[in-house]
Structure 1
């Protein structure tokens, strides 16, 4: 008896169709799985056999061969337990082959026949929808993270018996579709920009960074408020769109980090890896091509606190992802491409003791200060757009009541600027000013004679690289958007340069 059951498997955050072919024939009893299975897929033999028997069915005392097609693609995870079981129990199912051909089965079985929750169900459901399947059978505990996907019937299954009974029309399953209501999502943050006292220049830089998705570097002595400000930047980022919610939730679904209560990611991510982190944990990789911190920060904030303490090779691995907004992880027979369009915030002390350029006496020698600054290479620093010094505030400023702007007020201006950018790049695959190409800059960043004269002087005096120059123009475009200006003027240029001057004063 030959049965063919459809299933899905993952490469990165994308799924691919797997045909589970089960052949039960005469011969010495055996259970073999072929088609480039991983270790966890091979172990499915024991899980499937015990689950079938403990569910009350007869396990065939025959030669069983399971082929996972396509045979040249490695199959990983525990998604294939359920389709193998359904194929082995095909004689107990009354549904015609045409019904099964329109269905996808994914799920891990326990030894008693119950279906366990699996990682990565959201991209599997989306993949099944793209392949134009009518329905997908998934574990019941995964239903909350995928029931907002329309266009496909999602059937949550608690155990193997329930699956067989449903296929035979003996049992009904509640699988109500729940529409994803973006407008009703609340942005409940414990942090607020109103808590930040003083440092108005840094607050303005944070607003510009959020409006145009420009990377920000903060330099200042210990305790001046760098970390405090960085944690509040995501509170002024715009609300997530439906496409962004699904995009981020797919990543967190694969990583097994989705909130069980909501089932999706409803706030922008904020990732702050420790400075002792490795390249693999930061960028991603390993035997299963696991997403790293930069991927988990997609559409959110990656905060590199004490960036000068990170290993140099670890920091250098960020250069390409920061520029391209994606990372490729290559393996023997395939390559995984993860998106990482993030807002990178760096914070560092000006010297090893921390008090250079402050009111306190610095104990470091000039050689130590230069060596500390040189931990960050020129090409890496060139990928940051804004540079600001975070200074110490006075006693009187510190003891004022919190009367600064609230995050929601700043966010309104940021959302207005983002709306302008969305309209500007409506027919392009970009969302913010930071993603503009050279052609886009020529089209949308036209300078008048006065502005051109100022940029020419800045370019010659500070010997800007091509990347530094384009970043200056992009920041000017964002400032103009925040001010509601259609064209970039000289004031926008001067303000933009004021947020890059700290780079030339300190790092060069």
Structure 2
């Protein structure tokens, strides 16, 4: 008896169709799985056999061969337990092949026949939908993750008996998931910009960075508030929309980091890896190409605190993803592409002791300061749009009862600027000013003669690289959007230049 059951497997955040071909023939009892299975897929033989027996079905005392097609793609994970089991139990199922050809089965089996939650169910469901399948059978515990995907019938299964009985029409499964609504999800941040006293220039920089998705570097002595400000930047980013939720949730689903309450990522990520992190944990990789911190911060904030303490080789690995907004992880037979359109925020002390160029006495020798600064290469610094100094706030300001602006009020201005950008780029494949190409800058960043003359003088005086000059224009475009101006004028360019003063003061000194 030959049966063919559809399933899915993963490469990165994309899925590919797997045909589980099960052949049961006369011969010496054996159970073999072929088609380049990984160790966990090979171990499915024991799980499937015990699950079938403990669910009350007869396990065939025959020669069983399971082929996983395509045979040249490695199959990983425990997604294939259920389709292998259904293939063996095909004689117990009354549905014809036409019905089963419209279905996809994924799930891990326990020895008693129950289905267990698996990682990466969201991209599997999306992949089945894109392949025009009508329904997908998944573990019940994965229901919340896939509930937001329209266009495919998602059937949650608790155990093997329930799956077989449903296919035979002997069991009803409620498909009404109206209690899970995206509107029910609310972002309740504990942080608020109202808590930050003083440093208005840095707050303005944070607002511009959030509005145009411009990478931000903060330099200042310890305790001046760099980390405090960085943690509040995501509170002024626009609320995450459904398309972005699905993008981010696919990555978190693979990483096994989905919110158990909602089954989906409901707010913009904020990732802050420690400076002792490895390249694999930051950019991704390992035996199964797990997403790293930069991919996990997609559509959110990646905060690199004490950036000068990171290993230089690790920081250099960020240059390509910061520029291209995606990261490629290559293996011998395939490559994985993770999106990482993230706002990178970095913070550092000006020297090892932290008090260089501050009111306190610096204890560092000149060569120590130079070596500390040289940990950040010129090409890496060129990926940052904005450089600001964070200064110590006076005691009077800390004790004052002044009402600082709330994150909600700043976010409203950011959302207006983002809406202007969405309208501007509705026919482009981008959403923020920071993603503009040179061709788009010529199209959307109009400068009058006076402004062109000013930008030319700035380019020559500050010896800007081509990339830095383009970033300056992009920033000016964002400032104009915050002021709801159609064209960029000289004041916008000069304000954008002011956010490079710390770079000239510190890194060129």
The 5 A counterparts of 1:252-291 are 252-291=252-291
- Tell me the residue number matched to 1:496: 496
SS in 2 for 1:467: helix
Residues 405-429 of structure 1: per-residue CA shift (max 9 Å, x gap): 1000000000000000000000110
- Tell me the residue number matched to 1:409: 409
Q: Is residue 69 from structure 1 mapped to residue 40 from structure 2 by the alignment? A: no
Give the C-alpha shift of residue 180 in structure 1.
Answer: 7.3
In 2, distance between residues paired with 1:96 and 1:255?
Answer: 36
Contact 1:150 1:177 in 2 (8 A): no
Residues 342-391 of structure 1: per-residue CA shift (max 9 Å, x gap): 00000000000000111110001111111101100000000000000000
- Tell me the residue number matched to 2:53: 53
- Tell me the residue number matched to 1:479: 479
In 1, distance between residues paired with 2:184 and 2:175?
Answer: 22
- Tell me the residue number matched to 1:319: 319
Give the C-alpha shift of residue 144 in structure 1.
Answer: 1.1
- Tell me the residue number matched to 1:440: 440
Give the C-alpha shift of residue 187 in structure 1.
Answer: 2.2
Give the C-alpha shift of residue 273 in structure 1.
Answer: 0.1
- Tell me the residue number matched to 1:134: 134
- Tell me the residue number matched to 1:336: 336
SS in 1 for 2:84: helix
Contact 2:94 2:167 in 1 (8 A): yes
In 2, distance between residues paired with 1:147 and 1:273?
Answer: 31
SS in 2 for 1:347: strand
Residues 176-200 of structure 1: per-residue CA shift (max 9 Å, x gap): 2449755554221000000000000
Residues 273-312 of structure 1: per-residue CA shift (max 9 Å, x gap): 0000000000000110000000000000000000000000
In 1, distance between residues paired with 2:465 and 2:176?
Answer: 56
In 2, distance between residues paired with 1:244 and 1:99?
Answer: 33
In 2, distance between residues paired with 1:93 and 1:60?
Answer: 15
In 1, distance between residues paired with 2:364 and 2:296?
Answer: 37
SS in 1 for 2:422: helix
Contact 1:194 1:402 in 2 (8 A): no
Q: Structure 2 vs 1, CA of residues 492 and 182 (structure 1 numbering), >3 Å: closer, same or farther?
A: farther
Contact 1:6 1:19 in 2 (8 A): yes
What is the number of residues matched between the two proteins? 508
TM-score norm. by structure 1 comes to 0.99
Unpaired runs of 5+ residues, structure 2, are: none
Give the C-alpha shift of residue 131 in structure 1.
Answer: 0.6
TM-score norm. by structure 2 comes to 0.99
Q: Is residue 154 from structure 1 mapped to residue 150 from structure 2 by the alignment? A: no
Contact 2:351 2:373 in 1 (8 A): yes
Q: Structure 2 vs 1, CA of residues 180 and 476 (structure 1 numbering), >3 Å: closer, same or farther?
A: farther
SS in 2 for 1:495: helix
Q: Structure 2 vs 1, CA of residues 15 and 192 (structure 1 numbering), >3 Å: closer, same or farther?
A: same
Contact 2:22 2:64 in 1 (8 A): yes
SS in 1 for 2:166: helix
User: Which sits farther off after the overlay, 470-479 or 178-187?
Assistant: 178-187
In 2, distance between residues paired with 1:403 and 1:337?
Answer: 45
Unpaired runs of 5+ residues, structure 1, are: none
The 5 A counterparts of 1:200-349 are 200-349=200-349
Give the C-alpha shift of residue 451 in structure 1.
Answer: 1.0
Q: Is residue 189 from structure 1 mapped to residue 171 from structure 2 by the alignment? A: no
SS in 2 for 1:217: strand
In 2, distance between residues paired with 1:145 and 1:218?
Answer: 37
SS in 1 for 2:321: helix
In 2, distance between residues paired with 1:388 and 1:448?
Answer: 28
In 1, distance between residues paired with 2:51 and 2:390?
Answer: 61
Give the C-alpha shift of residue 403 in structure 1.
Answer: 1.0
SS in 2 for 1:246: helix
Q: Root-mean-square deviation (CA), in Å?
A: 1.0
In 1, distance between residues paired with 2:243 and 2:402?
Answer: 36
Contact 1:182 1:241 in 2 (8 A): no
Contact 2:155 2:175 in 1 (8 A): yes
SS in 2 for 1:5: strand
In 2, distance between residues paired with 1:387 and 1:3?
Answer: 62
Contact 1:147 1:178 in 2 (8 A): no
Q: Structure 2 vs 1, CA of residues 260 and 184 (structure 1 numbering), >3 Å: closer, same or farther?
A: closer
In 1, distance between residues paired with 2:175 and 2:144?
Answer: 10
Give the C-alpha shift of residue 49 in structure 1.
Answer: 0.4
Contact 1:148 1:178 in 2 (8 A): no
Give the C-alpha shift of residue 505 in structure 1.
Answer: 1.2
Q: Structure 2 vs 1, CA of residues 155 and 415 (structure 1 numbering), >3 Å: closer, same or farther?
A: same
Residues 187-245 of structure 1: per-residue CA shift (max 9 Å, x gap): 21000000000000000000000000000000000000000000000000001111000
In 2, distance between residues paired with 1:434 and 1:281?
Answer: 26
In 1, distance between residues paired with 2:472 and 2:53?
Answer: 68
Give the C-alpha shift of residue 147 in structure 1.
Answer: 1.3
- Tell me the residue number matched to 1:169: 169
